[in-house]
Amino acid sequence: MQRRGWLIAVVLPAVIILSAIAFSGGASAALYRSYVYNFWGEPVTTPDPYLPVRTVSGTDLGAGEFKNAQYLFTAPDNTLYIVDTGNHRIIRTTSDFTLIEEIKEFELDGKIEKFNSPQSVYVTNDGRLFVADTQKERIVVFNPDGDLAFVIDSIKTDSPDALQEHFRFRPKRIAVDPVERLYVTVEGVFDGLMVLNLEGEFRGFMGAPRVYRPPWEIFWYQMASEEQRARMQLLLPTEFSAMALDDMGFIYTTVASSEVETTHYIRKLNAAGDDVLRRQGFFDPMGDLYEGTSSTIIGRSKLVDIIGREHGMYSALDQLRGRVFTYDGNGNLLYVFGGVGHGIGLFTSPSSLAELNGHLLVLDSRGANCITVFEPTAYANVIHNAVRYQYDGTFDIATEYWRQVMAMNPNYELAYSGVASAYMQLRDYKQAMQYYKLGNNRAGYSKAFQRLRLDFVNSHFGKIMTSVLGLIFLLYASKVRAWGPRLKQRYIRTGIAAWFARPQVQQNPVYAWLKRTWYALCYAKYVIFHPFDGFWDLKYENRGTVSAATILLVLTVLSYVFMSQYTGFVFNQQKIENINILVEAISIGIPVLLWCAVNWALTTLMDGKGTLKDIYIAAAYSLTPFLLAAVPMTIISNYITIEEGQLYSVVLSIVYVWTFALLFLGTGLIHDYSFGKILFTTAATIVGVGFACFVGLLFFDVLDRMLRFVQEVYREITLRL
């Protein structure tokens, strides 16, 4: 014990010292988990794209501790500006964090003016510094030599109605484009970015996010009176939480409210204010896909800063979970890193993001109250190179880098799509389809298949046309010469009829059962095209049988399983390897049986004339349209593209509506209900089926918990014995 205590006393401090030395001198192991989302929205762990190499505090700069620092900005001359909001100052450093100057005050009209809670800065290519002095309600502009140029402290407008009655100019984020238009996000302004010229003249608003109003609120708003509408909560466009101007003159913005249109939390605005952000990834750029269930972190990503990067990439900072999300120009998620906590590379309340010399800087406004410097790993560098060459159109070089990414992370789906793009350029469409499939890129797969199909048709056009013309000739000749009917009469009907005419066959009860079942199955065709007469005859003329209905139900279940398993890749959104055939079969069979049971239970209380047998037969016969269409449409789905898939979707929609309409009519006809009573019964049956499913799931959940409890008790007893 003494020896062990001596080892701990000596080794533990040594480990701590070595860890501190390693962190100060190079990249350390990350305390966070890096990941991307796959096609199904599942987080997939990846190698760390960035690792923390250094933290920089105000004391390290020789400028005193930061206080609620809010913003970082990398100037064109590669110097760094730090907006230390709580200390009412701007700090400027070199790229290696050597303090250059500290800006706290300036002279205006012979008086010394000080900043009051500045929120951000912007530096133009000619070196002019713009400071958003928020609480003083002004923008202060300095010349490249540091002297005051001018101050914008009031907004000039020709229209008195252009701004709100109680408008206050409190700038938060600012940017200046090459033609000297000044873009400002203003606290409390919901109309979008404010556009000014350098004289402070108001030019309008641009890019306001659309308000999202839930469907139920729209319904109640339409139903409400004028007085009730006046008392309803006013939904306004949300403020932008961040803004950044890229090298091409586009403006990236983020919002931190859930009341925006769909998932457009990141936007890319052109000079006209139109959102031109590409959203061609698996999911829209929005940070984390899920709100989370942690007791300490609940809610979707709160994006508080964004930066445009080279080759169309951009990165956004999530304050809620302390993560940095990076996307390419098409909206594909490249990597995620960072986290919330106390430790190297973790944050308490990150507020700003910047890029400096290939490193990413994250400013933490609380807790450590410092800047964390992240260095790209070999993994990130390979991704950046692949994106770079693909952005430039050099697909052969990009392919080599994508292959390196695949070697580092075989689960990185974007890399497979990158390799597929190179094969597309080489016109090797089969290989492109293979890699697009590995990358779950259905749009790319469809495009490659379309070109492969076109090449096949062009190469075999003569053979295809010869076969088609030959088939037409045979059909025409058989019709004119009556070859088909004569062959059918001589070899098929005569032979089969003679076999079935034998006494031993005619007297066999199995033959009688098969004959009746066969005719009952054939009658399904009549039912789907003549539902009123068909369902009447099923009940009152005994044209349907339980055996035929069971066969129809079984065939429908098998068709559904076939569709789930073999629908074309372009249209099949399921994870094939996870499909459980038994579960798929139950998912269609059990609801049909529940429909029959619940409908019978309800209609017995509502003077329904149909028995359980009648309901079962009618329900099974109603599935005939789906049964007839499922297999052919599944086969067709493997030979059409996304563009042609609209017809595929329309056909399936017609089949589903047709099936439900037959179920609706069949239910009413066998019970002899009026139209209104059919509607009520159908709705009540659907609710009953849902309730039955809920009770069933609850029962099996309780049963599972009881079995686990028994297992735990048994395990505890056996271990104690």
For the record, the structure tokens of 62 come out as: 């020789």
User: In terms of pTM, does the model score above 0.85?
Assistant: no
pLDDT of residue 342: 87
Whole-number Å distance between alpha carbons of 207 and 519: 66
Q: Check residue 275 and report its DSSP letter.
A: B
Whole-number Å distance between alpha carbons of 255 and 242: 7
Q: Which of 21, 74, 30 has the alpha carbon at shortest distance from 51? A: 30
Q: Which of 325, 343, 344 has the alpha carbon at shortest distance from 334? A: 325
pLDDT of residue 483: 57
For the record, the structure tokens of 564 come out as: 């789930």
Q: Which of 704, 689, 514 has the alpha carbon at shortest distance from 588? A: 689
Share of the chain above pLDDT 90, in %: 50
DSSP string, 119-140: -EEEE-TT--EEEEETTTTEEE
For the record, the structure tokens of 213 come out as: 């109003």
pLDDT of residue 616: 92
For the record, the structure tokens of 670 come out as: 């066998």
For the record, the structure tokens of 212 come out as: 């999202």
pLDDT of residue 15: 37
Instruction: Please say if the pLDDT value at position 608 is more than 80.
Output: yes
Whole-number Å distance between alpha carbons of 375 and 275: 32
Instruction: Please say if the pLDDT value at position 260 is more than 90.
Output: no
Q: How far apart are the first and last CA of the chain?
A: 32
pLDDT of residue 19: 38
What residue ranges define each of the domains in the chain, with the CATH number in brackets? 28-376 (2.120.10.30), 395-459 (1.25.40.10), 503-707 (no CATH)
- C-beta separation of 345 from 52 below 8 A: yes
pLDDT of residue 84: 95
Q: List, for residues 349-380, the tens digit of each pLDDT value.
A: 999 999 999 999 999 988 778 999 999 999 99
Q: List, for residues 500-532, the tens digit of each pLDDT value.
A: 555 655 566 776 777 888 888 999 999 999 999
Residues with Cβ < 8 Å from 639, sequence gap 6 or more? 453, 568
* 59-62: long-range contacts, CB 8 A cutoff, minimum separation 24: 60/97, 60/370, 61/91, 61/93, 61/97, 61/99, 62/99
Find residue 45's DSSP bridge partners.
35
- C-beta separation of 338 from 324 below 8 A: yes
Whole-number Å distance between alpha carbons of 541 and 268: 67
In this prediction, residue 233 has a pLDDT band, given cuts at 50, 70 and 90, of low
Q: List, for residues 575-592, the tens digit of each pLDDT value.
A: 888 888 888 888 888 989
CA 160 to chain centre: 43
pLDDT of residue 116: 93
For the record, the structure tokens of 557 come out as: 């279940």
The whole-chain average pLDDT of the chain stands at: 84
Q: What is the average per-residue pLDDT within 699-707?
A: 85
Whole-number Å distance between alpha carbons of 285 and 403: 25
Q: List, for residues 156-197, the tens digit of each pLDDT value.
A: 887 767 777 678 899 999 999 988 899 999 988 888 899 999
Residues with Cβ < 8 Å from 290, sequence gap 6 or more? 41, 300
